[in-house]
Each structure stands twice: as C-alpha cells, then as structure tokens.
Amino acid sequence: MTTSPADRHGIAVAVRGVEKHFTTRGSSLHALSGIDLDVPEGRFVTLFGPSGCGKSTLLRILAGLEASDAGEVELYGQPPAAASARKEIAWIPQTPALLPWRTVRENARLSADVNRTADRLGGSQRVPLDPDELLAALGLEAFADARPDQLSGGMRQRASIARGFAQGAPLMLMDEPFSALDELSREAAQLTLVELWERYRKTVVFVTHSAAEAVLLSDQVVVMTPRPGRIHAVVDIDLPRPRSSRLEETDEFAALVTHVKHTLRSGWQAAE
Amino acid sequence: MSALTTTTPRRADRTSTGRRLGELAAPLVFFVLLALAWQWTAYHNRSLIPPIQAMVTDLSSRPDYYLAQLWETLQSALIGLVIGVSIAFALAVGIVHVRALRTAVMPVALLINVTPIVAISPALIVAFGFTRTPHIIVVAIVVFFPMLINATVGLSSVDPQAMDVFRTLSATKGDVLLRLRLPSSLPFVFAGLRLSASTAMLGAIISEFTGTSKGMGASIMLATSYLNLAQMWSMIFLSALTSLALLGLVAVAERMVIRW
Ligand SMILES: Nc1ncnc2c1ncn2[C@@H]1O[C@H](COP(=O)(O)OP(=O)(O)OP(=O)(O)O)[C@@H](O)[C@H]1O
Ligand SMILES: [Mg+2]
C-alpha cells in the first residue's frame, strides 16, 4: 500500500496525492485535489472530464511544465525534470505549434536539433524514429518540404503528431490535439493516431472532453470532475485492437460511450 | 485597355503589364501635377524654390561634388545604423533573459529617446571634435530606440505552445534563443529596421549642420548662407532618394530572410 512508486514495475506514470491551487488576485482556486493515478507502460490512457476539471493542469504537472503544491509525480521512477532532460517526454499541444520558418520535415526533426546533451547521455529509453517514415505514415510525404502555412489545419495537426512520434519518447502527453479540427478531419486524425499508436505502443496520456474520442483511442478512461478537480473513476475500455472506424458502429462501442458519460454525470452530481 | 478600366481585381491581371500601367497611372499623374505646381511657384516666386532645370543643371555640372557629400553622409549613416541597431538588439536579447536588465535599461533608453537630437549634436562635437565620431553617435542614438522596442517585443512574442514543446524537451536557453525567439522576432526586427533605416539619414544630416564642412548637412547649411536654392534643394531631394533606397534595401533583405 505504502510502497514507493519507484518500486512498481511496469508503471510509466505514478501520481500520488497531487494538489494544485491557483491564486489570482487574492482568490484561490483548488484546481486538483488528491490525485492518485498509475499509468502502466505501453497503455493509452485518457483524462476525460468537463471544462475546468484540471485535465490540462494535471498533464502539465506530468510534463514538468507546472509545479504541484503537494504530492509526487514519478515518470519511470524519476521526477518529470529528469525524464525531460533525457527527452523522454513528447508533448503534443492543443494547437499544432509548428515553427513556420521550418519545413514540415524540419519541424518533425525538431527534437533532434535541441538539447543535444540528452543525445550524449546514455541510459535513455528513447528511440528516435525516422521523421520521413512518420510523415509517410501520416500521409504527409508529399508535403515534407512544404512550409506549415501551405498545409490545411488537419495536415498541420498530423505534422505535429509526426514531430511527437519522431522524438521516440517512451511517454507521450497530448492535450486535446484534435479540438480545433472540423468533425471530418477530427475523425480522420483519430483513426490515424489509433493506427500509429498500435504500431509503436508508446505510453500515452491523452486529454479530451469527447467521450467517443476517449473510448475509441484508449485502454483506460480516467473520468475527472471539477471543483475541485478530482479523479472520480477509471473505466477500462476492453475493446479489441486493432481498432478501426467500423468499431464506432458497434453496440459495444455505443454502450461504453454511454457508460463513460454516465460515470461522469454521476460523479458530477455527487460533487455539486 | 480593359485592364485600365476594370474595377474588379482579377488574379490573372495582376501581373499583366496593363494592370501594372494602371497601378502606375495615378501616382504618375499626381507626380506630373506636383512638378507643374513646383515650376509655377518657382517662376512666380524666385526666392522660394528653384525651378527643376536649375537643380538638374547644378547636379549635372558637378556630380562629383554631390556624390562626395552623399558618400560622406551615407558612411556616417550606415556605420551609425549598424552600431545603434547592433547595440539595441544585443540589449534586447539581454532584456528578455534578465528581468533586472529591463528595468535598468528601459528608463535610460526612454530618456535618450526624448532628448532632442539637435541639442545633443553640438555637445558631441565639443566632446569628440571635428571627426566623424559625433555624427556616427548621433545616428546610433536615433536608430537605437525603434530597434530596442521592436526587438524586445519580437523576442518575447513566442507562441506559448511552441515554448511548451521546447520546455518538455529541456531545450537550453541557447536552443530557445536560436531556434525559437530569433526566428519569431524577425518580422518585428525588420519593422524596427525600416524605422531605423529611415531615421539614419535624418540623424546624419542634422548632425552635419554643425561641426563639419563635409556631408549633405554641411552642404545644405552652406547653400543656405549663399542663398543657393538649387544646391540646397538638390541636396534635399538627393537625401530623400537615399533614404528611400535604404528602405528598399531593407525591404529586399526582409523578403530574402523571411520566406514563410
Ligand atoms: N495559470 C493559471 N492561473 C490561474 N488559474 C488557472 C491557470 N491554469 C488553469 N487555471 C484554472 O484551473 C482550473 C483547471 O484548469 P485546466 O485548464 O486544467 O482545465 P481543463 O480540464 O483542461 O479544461 P478545458 O477542458 O477547458 O481545457 C480552471 O478553473 C482554470 O481556470
Ligand atoms: Mg485543457
């Protein structure tokens, strides 16, 4: 029960008792309360919940982009900063955030160009992938030499995912990467991500407020409720892989989406 | 013909010569009208401005004189521009990294910016004598502020989500500067450079009003004392054209550097 997270084998992300408050102009906001979470290696886990429940905040704490007030976070038994120093965290933000002066290929290669000391340090679980291979897998091979402003929104987001995968980090953190896309691009992007993930099997913590997206992509859905942000329940998604668009038409899929939504609603009402 | 009369811009027409002529027609007509007004005024009031042919005659009778003055002023302007812009940019890089530097530099920079340059110029002559140095310093001072502000804003105007990507990669300060801040700042830096380039000639000429017998500023002062209208106005037009050429160079450089 009280074992240190480092003792747990096969756990990529271990979160214990994380608390987070934001203070703005005197008023304090309890953004995260008593967060405990284990993400097993090679699993696709989604944080699901309404706006303001602290999904992004939790993800940023995992990435080391934000400090928690209390509790501990270990990535492979080490604090986030250590994983980050070895480039073992791939961060895929909400907007593609491509660098407009770089071509699509150069953008996909970004992780190789910065923090060169990480490449000299041994002992990393990172296995960089060929950017061109990823661009091809994402249907962007014809645009490898194009600049981001020549791409559509959906293509830019795919380029951003290529950049994330090319880094070869064992842990990938994605904060609503598809939220800005139109419905059709979004569905296409989800299926591409499923395919890519099933090929490389990285540990992923994904954030969304779409129940269908959470069910389609994940092995586990972490249902969060707001005020203060808590983990209400964890729903296992035992749908077979590989997954395809046909899965979305099955009754099992629909039942799980309903179940996830229902779980959220019950937790939310209890919180009010 | 249709290109000249059509009002809806069509893509295919944009590069055709007809369209080009159409775009040139308005300024050309205005320019001719302006020239006519100039000539009319010059003939009716001979002490106000010289007729155009008087300037052309003076310019073509002694081009070496004009070129020598132009070169003299241009050197001060360019050296001062490079020095002022470089210092401003280096300070901007420091400011975005060290908060204390911002609070230290900005008030002083503001003070320098509001000090009338015509007041500083004679003081610099006293300090540095009849050399090029005071003129370079004046130019450096006038180009400094626009570059400092634009570079500081530009180096800070980084996409926060791209910054998050850099931070999770544990990118070094150098990585962030070279691969994120610097490229992000370029549009701002060139906007600053356009402002600086257009004030560089102004600074050089004003500073040459005192403390030197060379350069366009000195030549304008000399022409004033002799009431040589042709020389005075030739210099004025020449300096305007030079400033315009400098601006054009900056625009060309911008198009070559920023290709996204
Ligand atoms: N930097 C900050 N300063 C102050 N308050 C913040 C900050 N970041 C987040 N918050 C607050 O913390 C709470 C949780 O925010 P967070 O962005 O984590 O929610 P979220 O679940 O990601 O929501 P969304 O689905 O809208 O993205 C919100 O009430 C938000 O206003
Ligand atoms: Mg969010």
A58 SS3 class = helix
How much is the pLDDT for A227? 87
Q: Which residue intervals of A41-148 are DSSP H helices?
A: 55-63, 80-85, 104-108, 110-113, 116-120, 131-137
How much is the pLDDT for A272? 60
How much is the pLDDT for B252? 96
Task: Please return the burial class of B87, using the count of CB atoms within 10 Å of its CB with bins 0-12, 13-18 and 19+.
Answer: middle
How far is the alpha carbon of B260 from chain A, nearest alpha carbon, in Å? 5
H or E stretch covering B45: none
For residue B171, which residues of chain A lie inside 8 Å, CB to CB?
A: 114-115
- Considering only CB atoms, A65 lies closest to which of B159, B168, B260, namely B168
Which domains does chain A show, CATH number per domain? 11-271 (3.40.50.300)
A221 SS3 class = strand
> Among all chains, which residue has been given the structure tokens 């995912």?
A161
Instruction: Choose which residue among A56, A58, A65, A69 to substitute to test ligand 1 binding: the one with the highest number of ligand atoms within 8 A of its C-beta.
Output: A56
How much is the pLDDT for B2? 39
- Considering only CB atoms, A115 lies closest to which of B169, B183, B258, namely B169
Residue B193 CA: distances (Å) to CA of A208, B56, B76: 44, 32, 17
> Among all chains, which residue has been given the structure tokens 């271990």?
A14
Strand order in the sheet with A230-236: A89-92, A171-175, A203-208, A44-48, A220-225, A230-236
ipTM: 0.93
How much is the pLDDT for B163? 97
Chain B CB within 8 Å of residue A93 CB: yes
Pairwise CA distance, residues A258 & B248, whole Å: 64
Chain B CB within 8 Å of residue A89 CB: yes
Q: Which band of pLDDT confidence, cut at 50, 70 and 90, is reported for residue A245?
A: confident
How much is the pLDDT for B183? 96
Pairwise CA distance, residues B32 & B29, whole Å: 5
Q: Which band of pLDDT confidence, cut at 50, 70 and 90, is reported for residue B39?
A: very high
A170: nearest Cα among A12, A8, A10, A2: A12
* Interacting residues of B34 by C-beta distance below 8 A, sequence separation 6+: none
Q: Which residues does ligand 1 sit against, CB inside 6 Å?
A: A 22, 24, 29, 31, 49, 51-57, 209, 229
How much is the pLDDT for B96? 94
The answer to whether residues B200 and B78 touch, using CB atoms and an 8 Å cutoff, is: yes
A194: nearest Cα among A213, A167, A176: A213
A32 CA distance to ligand 2 centroid (A)? 13
Instruction: Choose which residue among A20, A24, A25, A55 to substitute to test ligand 1 binding: the one with the highest number of ligand atoms within 8 A of its C-beta.
Output: A55
How much is the pLDDT for B255? 94
**pLDDT of A117-156, one tens digit each?**
888 877 778 888 999 999 998 889 999 999 999 999 889 9
Pairwise CA distance, residues B54 & B61, whole Å: 11
Amino acid identity of residue B171, one-letter, is: A
Q: Which band of pLDDT confidence, cut at 50, 70 and 90, is reported for residue A160?
A: very high
Q: How much is the average pLDDT of B17-39?
A: 87
How much is the pLDDT for B16? 66
Q: Which two tokens stand for residue B227?
A: 């009431």
Instruction: Choose which residue among A27, A47, A53, A208 to substitute to test ligand 1 binding: the one with the highest number of ligand atoms within 8 A of its C-beta.
Output: A53
* Interacting residues of A217 by C-beta distance below 8 A, sequence separation 6+: A44, A46, A190, A193, A194, A197, A206
**pLDDT of B177-219, one tens digit each?**
999 999 999 999 999 999 999 899 999 999 999 988 899 999 9
Q: Which of B4-18, B85-99, B159-173, B222-236 has the lowest mean pLDDT?
A: B4-18
A175 CA distance to ligand 2 centroid (A)? 7
The answer to whether residues A260 and A214 touch, using CB atoms and an 8 Å cutoff, is: yes
Q: How many CB pairs under 8 A join A and B?
A: 73
For residue B180, which residues of chain A lie inside 8 Å, CB to CB?
A: 99
How much is the pLDDT for A9? 67
Chain B CB within 8 Å of residue A1 CB: no
What is the distance, to the nearest Å, from the Cα of residue B2 to the centroid of all Cα atoms in its chain?
A: 39
Q: Which two tokens stand for residue B178?
A: 């070279």
pLDDT above 90 for B257: yes
How far is the alpha carbon of B195 from chain A, nearest alpha carbon, in Å? 24
Q: How much is the average pLDDT of B120-143?
A: 93
For residue B161, which residues of chain A lie inside 8 Å, CB to CB?
A: 93-95, 97
A73: nearest Cα among A172, A6, A131: A6
How much is the pLDDT for A2? 40
Q: How much is the average pLDDT of A104-127?
A: 89
Which residue is closest in CA terms to ligand 1's atom 30?
A: A52
Report chain A's mean pLDDT, rounded to a whole number: 90
**Interaxial angle between packed helices B52-61 and B229-257, expressed in degrees from 0 to 180 and rounded to the nearest 10:** 80
Ligand 1 atom index nearest CA of A224: 21
Report chain B's mean pLDDT, rounded to a whole number: 90
Query: What percentage of chain B's residues is helix, strand, coil (to nearest 5)?
Result: 85, 0, 15
pLDDT above 60 for A7: no
